[in-house]
């Protein structure tokens, strides 16, 4: 009798565990930032010169290379982007790829491509490998002084 009861309880534990696991996996899948689509809202945080955040979702601006915070002009780049977009409504078209914890997308402020604005102001460069050269014409003498990471050179 005890064995039957034990197996009945164990069966419920296994079913419950499987159900909880399925729910957790579904929630994680639904929360992936790398899916395609459009994300819009006010920018709540600017991480660096090429990463913004809408709500709790970090987005890497596609096709540009901005200096890292520890590199020359890194803080200037971040501060420029912060002044440009923080608290303002932005629309990002996500490409369905990720870079570390960030979704990747082309982002717009008042209909203007943010990448064009940043590059034209001299705080980032065209990253041809990821932009396909889309922003090459916007590079300036100021932006060309910035380092170009290896990941930007076409293969």
Name the phi and psi angles at 129, rounded to 5: -60, -35
User: Is the pTM for the entire model greater than 0.85?
Assistant: no
Q: Residue 31: its pLDDT value, please?
A: 41
Q: Residue 154: its pLDDT value, please?
A: 72
| In contact, 47 and 53? CB cutoff 8 Å | yes
Q: Residue 6: its pLDDT value, please?
A: 55
Q: Residue 113: its pLDDT value, please?
A: 98
Tokens of 69: 């915070």
Low-confidence ranges of the chain (pLDDT < 50): 13-15, 17-31, 33
Residue 44 φ/ψ region, left for φ over 0, alpha for ψ in the -120 to 50 degree band, beta for the rest:
alpha
Name the phi and psi angles at 148, rounded to 5: -110, 115
Residue with tokens 């689509």: 37
Q: Residue 12: its pLDDT value, please?
A: 54
Residues 6+ apart with CB under 8 A from 121: 80, 142
Residue 126: other Cβ atoms inside 10 A = 25
Q: Residue 24: its pLDDT value, please?
A: 34
Q: Residue 3: its pLDDT value, please?
A: 57
Q: Residue 33: its pLDDT value, please?
A: 44
Burial class from Cβ neighbours inside 10 Å (0-12, 13-18, 19+) for residue 91 reads: middle
């Amino acid at each position: 009798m005890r064995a039957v009861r034990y197996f009945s309880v164990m069966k419920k534990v296994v079913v419950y565990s499987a159900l909880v696991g399925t729910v957790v996996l579904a929630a994680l899948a639904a929360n992936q930032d790398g899916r395609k689509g459009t994300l819009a809202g006010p920018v709540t945080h600017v991480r660096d010169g090429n990463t913004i955040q809408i709500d709790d979702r970090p987005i890497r601006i596609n096709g540009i290379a901005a200096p890292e915070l520890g590199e020359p002009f890194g803080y200037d780049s971040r501060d420029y982007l912060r002044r440009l977009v923080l608290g303002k409504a932005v629309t990002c078209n996500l490409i369905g790829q990720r870079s570390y914890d960030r979704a990747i997308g082309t982002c717009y402020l008042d209909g203007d491509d943010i990448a064009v604005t940043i590059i034209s102001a001299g705080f980032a460069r065209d990253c041809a490998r990821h932009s396909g050269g889309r922003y090459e014409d916007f590079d300036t003498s100021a932006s060309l002084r910035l380092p170009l990471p290896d990941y930007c050179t076409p293969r």
